[in-house]
Each structure stands twice: as structure tokens, then as C-alpha cells.
Structure 1
Amino acid sequence: MADDKHLHAARVHVEAVLQGEQPPPVVKTFFDEPTFTASYVLHDPATSRAAIVDPVLDFDQPSGRTATASADRIAAYVRSQGLTVDWLLETHAHADHLSAAPHLQKELGGQLVIGREIITVQTVFGGIFNEGPEFARDGSQFDRLLDDGDCLMMGTIAITALHVPGHTPADMAYIAGDAAFVGDTIFMPDYGTARADFPGGDAATLYRSIQRLMGLPGATRVFLCHDYKAAGRDEFVWETTIAAQKTGNVHVHEGVTEAEFTAMRQARDATLAVPRLILPSIQVNIRGGHFPPAEANGTHYLKLPLNIL
């Protein structure tokens, strides 16, 4: 990884915090137990500029009703702290919850951001859902598409985007100061790693992405997108460190080879059920969190393709 200039840039920012040259970002977690999703507000204590990562829209699938109670708790916190939101960061097009980014953007401002490979995901799922030409497959539903190594400023804190595909083609990790928001790449060390069997996913690619993240300093704070409580653990946990992952991740600790990981991941993924909310979530999230256009009666509809996934 010596020639990975983008990882090196992220390391520099982490080390500046660890050496006391810059204050760390303040991170507040909002955990949505129905979807096991951790959303985050991070901010620069020097300027009160902020970013929101992976916000959740409440969705009751049997009734088809949505609500914003979870997102409104985030908005209330932002206002109570006097923060200004610059960025709404999506780590990928989630298959387990609907994004609340449009609601929070309306309430708080900020630009909606995702990795450029969302275009690939839109193309694949645009076909699965038989979307017509009115569904743009160019990422234009988002305000900004990021490439590997792109940098966003949050006040005095740089946020470096690292492309970490494997779970999906579009996964991005965001490194802000000493904090890494890694999406669905790794989970808590006692739970392991994300699945890689969705369309466009690949276990070997996921292994290489995780190894890239392992190149960050050991003291880097790692904030996860999900926790499912590993067997024997009674509490939800969503924060760990790179060092803990390297020494203790049950799937990908030091010494596990790419071939071993790929074989394990493929065998495990073959036993996993399709995520409960994948069909509604993907239809919304590839649109930047917006619903499909309303039909002539003013109602929005989600499709249920049969015998596809």
C-alpha cells in the first residue's frame, strides 16, 4: 500500500489528530434498532460545521407508511448544538433501510453525496425494476458524486473519501480526522464482515477493500453502519478501532488470506436470507432517498419484482 496516495492522505489527517495537532471531530450516534443501523452526526468543534452519515427514514412495510421520527431526532440534535450541516454522506445505496437524506436536507441544508459508482448500481437495479427512461442512471439525483481520494472540507476538518467496493460497487468510507465511517465493509470484530453477494458485489474485492482500511493507524476510531449483536453479546455496539479489527475480527484478522476469506464469505453468503427491506430500500436509495414519481392519482408506488432476487 506504499503507493496508495489517497490512503496516505487519510493517514496524515488521522495522525494529525493522534499527535494533538488538530482536535478530533465530535461524533454523535443515532441507532435505529428496527434496521440495526447506526447514523452519525459529526462536527468540527472549532467551527460547528457538520456532516450527517447514513440517516434512516422510518418505514412500516406492512402498511407502506413512512415517518421521520428517527431523522427528526437527528435534526433536533443538530439544532440544539448550533451546527451547520455541509454534507449528507451516504456510504452506499443501502439494502436495509430507506434514506432520510432528502428530509434532512430540506430541514437542515447541506449537499447530498455518494460515490460515483452509484451509476453502476443504478444501471443494474434500473434493469431489475424495469425502470423507464425517466429514471436517470447518471447519479444526478445526488448533489455530488465522489471519486476515490476526493476531499470534502467540514470547517477545518478534511473528510477523505476512500472507495471500498465489494459489498456493492459504490461503497465509500469517509475518513474525518481520526474517525472512519466505513459503511457495510466490516462490523464489530466479534461479528465479522459484510456480505458480498448482492448484484455487483464480490468477496475478493471486499477483502482488498478491508485490507486498505486496515492500513489506517491502529488508533483510528471506526464507526460502523450496523450492529446485529454477535452471539453472547447483550448490547449493541457500533464503535471500534482499526487495531481491534486487525487483531480480533473473526472473518478477516491478520493472517487470513484473500483465498480463505473469499471461500468463507461465499459459503456464508449462500446461507443468508435476502434482506427484509431490500426491494423498497433500493428503489428509494438509488433515487437519492426520493420516492418513485407519483402516478396519476397522486400516490407513490414501489414495485415488487417476482423471482428475481
Structure 2
Amino acid sequence: MAHKPTVQGFYHEQSGSVAYVVADPGTGKCMVIDPVLGFDLKSGSIDTTPSDQVRDYILGRGLAVEWVLDTHPHADHLSGVAYLSGQLHAPTAIGERVNVVQEIWAEIYNLPSIHRNGRECWHRLLADGDRFHVGDLEVEVLFSPGHTAASVTYVVGDAAFVHDTLFMPDGGTARADFPGGDARALYRSIQRILSLPPETRLFTGHDYRPGGREVRWESTVAEQQAANIHLRDAKGEDAFVRLRTERDRCLPLPEMMLAALQVNLRAGHLPEPEVNGTSYLRVPINRFAALSSDTATSR
């Protein structure tokens, strides 16, 4: 807890997701976590505005970017990691188990090219317990599976970026029913996060504004232990798995999932253009027919 990073969140209304700039106030070095690209399904057009806002914030404050990071392959928006890496000339990273998720979805899309060494897409693959520095801040990687098989948490001084594990206490926890997800693993990942010091600031990857309240994305370990609605209502691992599994059965397919994962499993790189110069995304017909696609949610 010797160093306290400054944290700026950027909320993306379309997906309810939050990107972060995490800076060392002493050196002006920073990293970006989970940047977003806008995508319009109707027209197939990409909007770089969400990531441009992050870039402009960094450049306007004279910060020096050392990393652009994914916490996991996202299912509800396009990752801006590759785009910002090019804009800011910074290396990229994700958890090393991304290869597992690539393998799952390579079969679903029938695109073997997706299942390849993650180092061809990101500059570094991070293992549980890995440490690196952003200025004078030490960043520790916690493997946090459950929502996906590849998810990681970044712990930086008194802050932890917990992606889609815990939401704000009134939002509960993330779904675990996507291919490769596991409700029991999610519970154990959450317990590991909640073993951090009680004053640790927790920054979530989404906020869906329960009851229409104002957007919030920061809590503490102590607040989550006391008030998280899913942990409060489900005492212990087995009860949590039952609650999470029953809830997940009622959730629709994220609107962006089938488009987003083809891009996000490549660190945000679009598929290679075909001979006419246009990139294309695939849709696996009837593969997820039992799920509705009218709402995007990770809840």
C-alpha cells in the first residue's frame, strides 16, 4: 500500500463498461486498462471516440503510457487495446490463459486462425503472480477465472481492477455461463480478491446502474464484504454457485458477443481484409439459438 495510483475512469454508455487510466503521480507514467471501441451492429461501422477520449486525456496531461492492458476477452464491446497501442506506441498484455478462450471460440467460429499463440496478438502474456512496474508503482497479476477462463485482476498499490468478477455492491457479480465460464471458479476468484486489505479500492469493469442511479465504479473490499447483494444472499460457495447458475439461465445473450469475440481474441485487431479490401465478421447460425440477443449484459 506504499503507493496510491491516481485513477480516471471512462464510462461507455452502450456497453456499460469502464476503461481506466492508472497513473503514478510521482513519475507521470501510466497504463490503460480495458479501452473500448464503439461498434454499430446495424451499419457494421467502428467508432474510435471512446478510445480517443482516453488518448486525449493522457496526452493532455503529459502522461507517458507504459502498458495497454486487457483483463479478459470481452463479449459486449470491441477492445480498443490494439488501437490505443498504435496511437500511444505502448505494448499490450493480457492473461496467459487467453489461449484457452481462443481455442474454444476457434471451434465455434470454425476459424482455426484465432487459436494461435497469444503472443502474436499481444506483446506479453501474464501469469498469476507476475509483477511489473508503471513508474514507481508495482503491478501484481491475480489470475481470476470464472467469468472467462482467462480473466486476470491487476493490483496496483491500494487499488485493484477486478474486471467482470464483482460489480458495485448493489449490482452483485458477473455471469459465468459463457463458453469457458465457471461459477465455482468465479466464487473462488472473488474470495481471493476480498482477501486483500479491507481499504483496497476495487474498480469494476461494468456498471449497469441498478434502479437508474448515477454511474459508479469504485468500491472497497470492506464495502463489498458488507453489502454485495449476491454474496449477502448466498452464504458460501455452494449457495453462490446455485444463485449464479439460476440467474445466468435467465440472462439474454450479449448483443455484441458474436461480433466482439472475433475481434477481442485478436487483441482488438480486425480480421484481415479480404481481396476486396473489406474485413468481415462471422455469425455461427443457430449455435446460440436458445438465448435471446435483445440486451447486452454481463450481469
**TM-score by structure 2 length?**
0.94
* 2:137 matches 1:137: no
Report what 1:270 is aligned to. 249
> Kindly tell me: are residues 136 and 207 of structure 1, through their superposed partners in 2, closer, same or farther at Cα, counting changes over 3 Å?
closer
Q: Distance in 2 between matches of 1:225 and 1:253?
A: 21
Q: 1:200 aligns with which of 176, 180, 183?
A: 180
Report what 2:277 is aligned to. 298
Report what 2:28 is aligned to. 48
Q: Secondary structure at the match of 1:251?
A: helix
Q: Distance in 1 between matches of 2:233 and 2:286?
A: 39
* 2:206 matches 1:222: no
Q: CA deviation at 1:136?
A: 4.5
Where structure 1 has 5 or more consecutive residues not aligned to the other structure, the ranges are: 1-13, 17-21
Q: Secondary structure at the match of 2:270?
A: coil
* 2:159 matches 1:179: yes
Please list the CA deviations of residues 192-237 of structure 1 after superposition, one character each: whole Å capped at 9, or x if unmatched: 0000000111101100000000000111111110000113x52111
Q: Secondary structure at the match of 1:39?
A: strand
Identity of aligned residues (%): 45
Q: Distance in 2 between matches of 1:214 and 1:86?
A: 28
Within 5 Å, give how 1:15-164 maps onto structure 2: 16=2, 22=3, 24-132=4-112, 134-139=113-118, 140-164=120-144
Please list the CA deviations of residues 28-66 of structure 1 after superposition, one character each: whole Å capped at 9, or x if unmatched: 111011110100001101111110000000111100000
Q: CA deviation at 1:307?
A: 1.2
Letter in 1 for 2:229: V
Report what 2:145 is aligned to. 165
Please list the CA deviations of residues 250-306 of structure 1 after superposition, one character each: whole Å capped at 9, or x if unmatched: 011497110000000000000000000001110000011001111111100000111
Q: Distance in 1 between matches of 2:238 and 2:115?
A: 38
Q: Distance in 2 between matches of 1:138 and 1:252?
A: 36
Q: Distance in 1 between matches of 2:259 and 2:204?
A: 23
Contact 1:90 / 1:113 at 8 angstroms: preserved in 2?
yes
Contact 2:234 / 2:243 at 8 angstroms: preserved in 1?
no
Q: Distance in 2 between matches of 1:264 and 1:67?
A: 37
Q: CA deviation at 1:152?
A: 1.4
Q: Secondary structure at the match of 1:107?
A: helix
Q: Distance in 2 between matches of 1:94 and 1:242?
A: 24
Contact 1:247 / 1:254 at 8 angstroms: preserved in 2?
no
Report what 1:245 is aligned to. 224
**TM-score by structure 1 length?**
0.91
Report what 2:237 is aligned to. 258
Paired positions, count: 287
Q: Distance in 2 between matches of 1:164 and 1:46?
A: 29
Letter in 2 for 1:167: H
Letter in 2 for 1:185: T
Q: Secondary structure at the match of 1:194?
A: coil
Contact 1:192 / 1:251 at 8 angstroms: preserved in 2?
yes
Q: Distance in 1 between matches of 2:222 and 2:250?
A: 29
> Kindly tell me: are residues 54 and 60 of structure 1, through their superposed partners in 2, closer, same or farther at Cα, counting changes over 3 Å?
same
Q: CA deviation at 1:113?
A: 0.6
Contact 1:246 / 1:254 at 8 angstroms: preserved in 2?
no
Q: Secondary structure at the match of 1:78?
A: helix
* 2:182 matches 1:191: no
Contact 2:234 / 2:240 at 8 angstroms: preserved in 1?
no
Report what 2:293 is aligned to. none
Q: Distance in 2 between matches of 1:35 and 1:205?
A: 24
The CA RMSD over aligned residues, in Å, is 1.2
